[in-house]
Amino acid sequence: MNRAGVALAAVAALLALAGCSAPTESAPSSSGEGLEARIFQYRLDYLPRVLEVGLENTGENPLDIRSVRFDSELFEAPAFTERGTLLKPGAVVDLRVDLPAPRCSGTAGAESVIVTLTDGTEISLVPTDDQDTLARINDEDCLAEAVGAVATLTLPSSVRRSDDGAGASGWLDIAIAPEAAGETPLVIDRVLGTTLLSAVTGDGASWPVDRVIRPGDEPSVLSLAVRPTRCDPHAVAEDKIGTILPVEVRTGERAGPLDLAADDALKSDVYAFVAEVCGF
């Protein structure tokens, strides 16, 4: 065989081998048999907007998890975690995901959890939501968005020490900064007490407010006379939500409690204020 014939034979052999090669494969998938998912949220994760995705291996084989993705029409994008874990049969693990921005026009009921194993297998699950966690989060997110369109409410950096003669031990001055334009008013019905701070008057459980704020209004201050809820050093030492002030508001078609969280400076000063008044 001449050189040209040898070359042609070599090309033909290569083409034959190429024709026998395996086609490109996509990642294997599974319907999720042997794995169950649920979603919930711990109270301390409300403000940082973190969701827990619980996984239970109900099968007979261990699952080497590489990542988890949570999808819902109530959020603008998926939520991810790449915290890997080996889930043995019968084992349960709770993975935390940071929630993206809310989608206030979305509806619940189209949620999914995609679990990716280290071998590339993707397991698609429909999670349970026994506590209606997603509906509550969406209500809170969209209430905060609606309130922000009318005014910004800001806690102070410290408790103002003053006595008005009626037994007030201190004051929390909440700054109210209305937006320049808009048509929908904001109504502040009342502010609820916390495990650390209570109202001076009445039963101490809340401060009646009944104030209407409209876009274009001048900035104002809502001053709350405060006292310690109880003089217990353990209440301060073990505090988790005592510096989160629930404000009951209404605007447009939305209503409910809006949580105002103290920054580190105010949190420290609330602890100091309680200690001063209680004498410990």
Per the domain annotation, does 169 fall within a domain?
A: yes
- Say if residue 122 is in the same domain as residue 156: no
Stretch (H or E) spanning 65: strand 63-71
- Say if residue 263 is in the same domain as residue 156: yes
Task: Give the whole-angstrom CA distance, residue 196 versus residue 241.
Answer: 9
- Say if residue 103 is in the same domain as residue 177: no
Buried b (16+ CB within 10 A) or exposed e, 30-62: eebeebbbbbbbeeebbeebebebbbebeeeee
- Say if residue 176 is in the same domain as residue 109: no
Report the length, in residues, of the chain: 280
Per the domain annotation, does 54 fall within a domain?
A: yes
Domain boundary among 97, 132, 167: 132
Task: Give the whole-angstrom CA distance, residue 45 versus residue 51.
Answer: 7
Per the domain annotation, does 139 fall within a domain?
A: no
Locus of tokens 């050189």: 3
Q: Which residue stretches of the chain have pLDDT < 50?
A: 2-26, 29
Task: Give the whole-angstrom CA distance, residue 110 versus residue 73.
Answer: 7
- Say if residue 207 is in the same domain as residue 264: yes
Q: What is the pTM of this model?
A: 0.82
The token pair at 245 is 């002030």
Structural domain containing residue 269: 149-278
Task: Give the whole-angstrom CA distance, residue 155 versus residue 258.
Answer: 13
Per the domain annotation, does 109 fall within a domain?
A: yes
Task: Give the whole-angstrom CA distance, residue 7 versus residue 13.
Answer: 10
**Which DSSP string corresponds to 221-236?**
EEEEEEEES---HHHH
Q: Output the pLDDT for position 44.
A: 92
- Say if residue 166 is in the same domain as residue 111: no
Locus of tokens 């105010």: 266
- Say if residue 113 is in the same domain as residue 182: no
CATH code, 228: 2.60.40.10
Nearest to 256 by CA among 264, 243, 246, 244: 246
Per the domain annotation, does 73 fall within a domain?
A: yes
Q: Output the pLDDT for position 107.
A: 79
Total structural domains within the chain: 2
- Say if residue 270 is in the same domain as residue 155: yes
Locus of tokens 């998926």: 78
> Could you read off the pLDDT of 170-213 as tens digits, one per residue?
999 999 999 999 999 999 999 999 999 999 988 899 999 999 99
